[in-house]
Structure 1
Amino acid sequence: MPYSILSIQEATILFKAQLAFQNLNFTWDSGQNWALIGSSGWELTAFIESIRGNTLMSKGEISRPFADAYSAEKSQSKEIHSFRDMIAYVSQKYEFRNKSHQQNFYFQQRFNSSESEEAATVREYLNEVELKIAGPWTLDSVSNLLRLEHLQDKAIIKLSNGETRRLALGLGLMRQPKIYLMDQPMTGLDVKSRAEFGEVLKAIIAAGVHVLISTSANEIPEGITHIASLDKSGIQKIWTKAKYHRLGVQPESTASWNWEELDALLPKAMSKRQSIIKLENVTIKYGEKTILNQLNWEVKPGERWLLKGPNGSGKSTLLSLLIGENPQAYSQSFWLFDRKRGTGESIWDVKRPTGFVAPELSRYFSYNQTCRKVILSGLFDTMGLFRKVTTEHEELGLRWMKLFNLESLANLPISRLSLENQRWTLLARALIKQPELLILDEASQGMDEFQRRLFRDTVQQICELSSMTLVYVSHYAEDIPEAVGEVMELM
């Protein structure tokens, strides 16, 4: 007989000092596994954080019967405890710490084999999980389920984006949860991994775990039994998986920025270089493992390329060559901006003409780096602003903040911005110096569907309004702007 494991009744909820929900009602019964959908990623996150007890409830109540027996047992033995002991959570802002338990990795360490000693391996990280309750998950079972076996001895900082996501899911399982909450868990996974995610979910559920995920409306994985549509007024509609279907197609985004202002901020002159990128038989190895094998590729000025391939195919390694962060570039037949690497150029000669956005970049700015400082740091190709800037620089930064509606967030640390505003901040940082080459690596990751469409439209406008060369990485076909006309696929 089903029984209630969680209930929210007539709740008014504040999240990050903003009103998230009024009169929110939700009942979660045993045997149910939920997918939350909605137009606002912020609201989906606020709902999950409410279950975790990380929001302010000014009215109503929330009960968590799933933890009652555990709480009674621990109270009787006078042990410190919380209902959170029984919950695992994977957010979109997952962070990993070094062996000194400080989150102070810097971006370049991912590609320098001599500088990863401070990073734990996948095995060490999984084994460090502090257990509050007993459960079935072991290092072997988690590694087998999430295809982490071959990564056991790899430093976590060297994992690809998709591998990092699988490790984050594994860390949650090692906590032996009764409730597993996942905020957009398929983000960063390639097409194959997203298709396999339903089997992973079913295995987790079969082990006695109840699951609630946020996801897009057209990605409901196997194992989910119920779907709830959410907005600021609460749960709007509920379907069983059997009855769920999308009614029509999501409307195209009608929102836009001030395209005339974007036009004024972008470079116009076509590059006079012969090529922007040129690789001849480039091979990159780490130990005995070959990541890139005899790769040839040439990108001409003004071309727009899609770089695609499954997780672990070498996309991140290739991008590390393009942004000047891989020391193996010097031993290769490899040219950037018509200049062969290793012929006396400085790292700044590589970085100056290149704008780069990747979702993980936001993790590498220190806490005192505000939205304003992060944008202005793009003028100097540094991970933060560490010098005085001119009045002209300040005015330019303000124009970019106004363009992307970031002006009110100027003095907030980037770590406190919503995921979508982090992405716009990083895009402004990449564009502020008017680069010849713009590299966008899953740059809209973490945005809700509305914001992703706006991001795609923005990149399309950048291509139409400038002669900028583009390398675009995405696992989602719907995120690719029409201006992208060339494809480099890694296998």
Structure 2
Amino acid sequence: MSDTIISIQQATILFKAQQAFQNLNFHWEKGQNWAIIGDSGWELTAFIETLRGNTVLSDGHIDRPFSKSYVERKTAAGEVNSFRDLIAYVSQKYVFKNRSHIQNFYFQQRFNSSESEETASVREYLLEVIPKVEGPWNLENVAKLLRLEALLDKSLLKLSNGETRRLAIALGLMQQPKIYLLDQPMTGLDVKSREEFGEILKAISNAGVQVLLTTSGNEIPEGITHIAKVSKTGIANTWSRSEFQLENIEPLQSPSWDWQLLDSLLPKDRNKLDVEVIKLKDVTIKYGEKVILDRLNWKVKAGERWLLKGNNGAGKSTLLSLLIGENPQAYSQDFWLFGRKRGTGESIWDVKRPTGFVAPELSRYFPANQTCRKVILSGLFDTMGLFKKVSPEQEELANRWIKLFNLEPLQQTVIQRLSLEHQRWTLLARALIKQPKLLILDEASQGMDQIQRRLFKETVQQVCERSGITLIYVSHYAEDVPEVVDKVMELCR
């Protein structure tokens, strides 16, 4: 028994007031690194939260022998303690705060260099961690392992999605964990970073840290020794790494939406291809001495569907900030949107009105009182939240989008409390409710499980087939790109 880290026996688990698992049995032994797979992203998160002690155990037993000696020692010394002191966790909903420890950024701050002073640097943020135990990890070796050395003096607001993910993993290591739990840690990483993740995992394991992560069956990193598939009835199957074959997993059946309802919500001028939607001529963007975009040229005609590619940090987020009107450097560039040069008297709302935009981090920037319904309606006004009275016609329009994406039971739930998949559908409805001419999807299905990602891909395909919308699609996963996308712009660092 001394080699057992965590043992779950005959457990019935409740997560967020719903039954997640019945008859859950799981035994984690020293030397094992686990990948947990499953058909539901909600169930994967529920499993990790069970290991963390953040679910309700209504029946059965959970034992955590890994913490026994630590808890006994601290208790004997009269010190407050918990098994959680020895666990680090990387959630998909990681949030970074400003110097006042308040997460009150607004979206545009990411692209205003003068406002990045409100946020700690990567170095400062990592050094703020005060671990409960001693361990091998320090700023130098964590930064080297996660390729953060060149980013140490960079503001958190300036990090790309993938860089932010690497920082979240580094932050967990600075806690000196004995157990490291990661919920979908490779989400948002480019192909190169995903390939490197196995080496990162092995380095963490070699330092004596036991790792368990959730992932998809086709993305098991090196360093994993065992795989388990979870379902509502518990652990459906387990494999050693050498036994596991992707073919052993039953193919998933994707759900579908009411495509006729979608058709009725899309603009009817689906074949109207008139102007150049985007034209960039020798566009250069830099912060201080660091050049992000170097003399970039790009033309996008109405009705075209583009994949925007590039490694983490290649400048994709900066380019998109120009297109959605959030980057103040646009005014000094030879840059046209919908046939009009930026800086010729147009307002920010003129820029935003024809464009729908979805990115996973958007959900962080809505005020705390913004419900699913309010967020969707805010798309009509291009604001980060609903702050004005809407007409009965606008309310009915929101009703139809809510019905399309099966959000009726959740429409009064604030966006931060929605599951990641429901956040994504809410943001997509917000982008589409105003019938935009240009739709920009930046890793928009990030955090969804495999079934939901397939449905998201099919939804975008249907939107494009049923309208003349122009699409810019950003994804590090080739399997997530809709078939309608037939042009590629790749940024290189």
Q: Percent of aligned positions with the same letter in both sequences? A: 71
State the partner residue of 1:33.
33
- Whole-Å Cα distance in 2 between the matches of residues 197 and 133 of structure 1? 25
- Whole-Å Cα distance in 1 between the matches of residues 255 and 244 of structure 2? 28
State the partner residue of 1:298.
299
- Whole-Å Cα distance in 1 between the matches of residues 158 and 138 of structure 2? 23
Q: Which runs of 5+ in 1 are unaligned?
A: none
TM-score in terms of structure 1 length: 0.99
Instruction: Indicate whether 1:106 and 2:106 are aligned.
Output: yes
Deviation at 1:254, TM superposition (A): 3.9
State the partner residue of 1:283.
284
- Whole-Å Cα distance in 2 between the matches of residues 273 and 322 of structure 1? 19
- Whole-Å Cα distance in 1 between the matches of residues 292 and 229 of structure 2? 42
Deviation at 1:395, TM superposition (A): 0.7
Check conservation: 2:39, 2:252, Cα contact below 8 A.
no
State the partner residue of 1:444.
445
- Whole-Å Cα distance in 2 between the matches of residues 268 and 204 of structure 1? 54
Deviation at 1:390, TM superposition (A): 0.8
1:16-67 superposed Cα distances (whole Å, 9 cap, x missing partner): 1111000100000000000001110100000000000110111111111111
Deviation at 1:2, TM superposition (A): 6.9
1:135-164 superposed Cα distances (whole Å, 9 cap, x missing partner): 000000000000000001100011000000
Deviation at 1:314, TM superposition (A): 0.4
State the partner residue of 2:424.
423
Q: List aligned pairs for 1:2-13, cutoff 5 A.
A: 3-13=3-13
TM-score in terms of structure 2 length: 0.98
State the partner residue of 2:47.
47
Check conservation: 1:85, 1:132, Cα contact below 8 A.
yes
Deviation at 1:456, TM superposition (A): 0.2
State the partner residue of 1:76.
76
- SS for the counterpart of 2:22 is strand
Check conservation: 1:280, 1:294, Cα contact below 8 A.
yes
Deviation at 1:268, TM superposition (A): 2.2
State the partner residue of 1:125.
125
Q: List aligned pairs for 1:290-439, cutoff 5 A.
A: 290-439=291-440
Amino acid at match of 2:85: D
Deviation at 1:343, TM superposition (A): 0.5
- Whole-Å Cα distance in 1 between the matches of residues 9 and 250 of structure 2? 30
Q: Aligned pair in 2 of structure 1 residues 318, 165: CA closer, same or farther (>3 Å)?
A: same
State the partner residue of 2:222.
222
State the partner residue of 1:182.
182
1:227-279 superposed Cα distances (whole Å, 9 cap, x missing partner): 00111101011111011111168636442100000000011214564200000
Check conservation: 1:362, 1:422, Cα contact below 8 A.
yes
Q: Which runs of 5+ in 2 are unaligned?
A: none
Check conservation: 2:371, 2:415, Cα contact below 8 A.
yes
State the partner residue of 2:115.
115
- SS for the counterpart of 1:324 is coil
- Whole-Å Cα distance in 1 between the matches of residues 108 and 25 of structure 2? 46
State the partner residue of 1:466.
467
In terms of mean alpha carbon deviation, does 146-155 or 242-251 score higher?
242-251
- Whole-Å Cα distance in 2 between the matches of residues 254 and 178 of structure 1? 38
Check conservation: 2:34, 2:213, Cα contact below 8 A.
yes
Number of residue pairs matched? Answer: 491
1:181-210 superposed Cα distances (whole Å, 9 cap, x missing partner): 000000000000000000000000000000
Check conservation: 1:253, 1:453, Cα contact below 8 A.
no
Amino acid at match of 1:448: D
Amino acid at match of 1:317: T
Amino acid at match of 2:436: P
Instruction: Indicate whether 1:58 and 2:58 are aligned.
Output: yes
Check conservation: 2:4, 2:30, Cα contact below 8 A.
yes
Amino acid at match of 2:435: Q
Amino acid at match of 1:366: P
Amino acid at match of 2:483: E
Amino acid at match of 1:40: S
In terms of mean alpha carbon deviation, does 440-449 or 273-282 score higher?
273-282
Check conservation: 1:378, 1:433, Cα contact below 8 A.
yes
- Whole-Å Cα distance in 2 between the matches of residues 249 and 209 of structure 1? 29
- Whole-Å Cα distance in 1 between the matches of residues 292 and 241 of structure 2? 40
Check conservation: 2:371, 2:412, Cα contact below 8 A.
yes
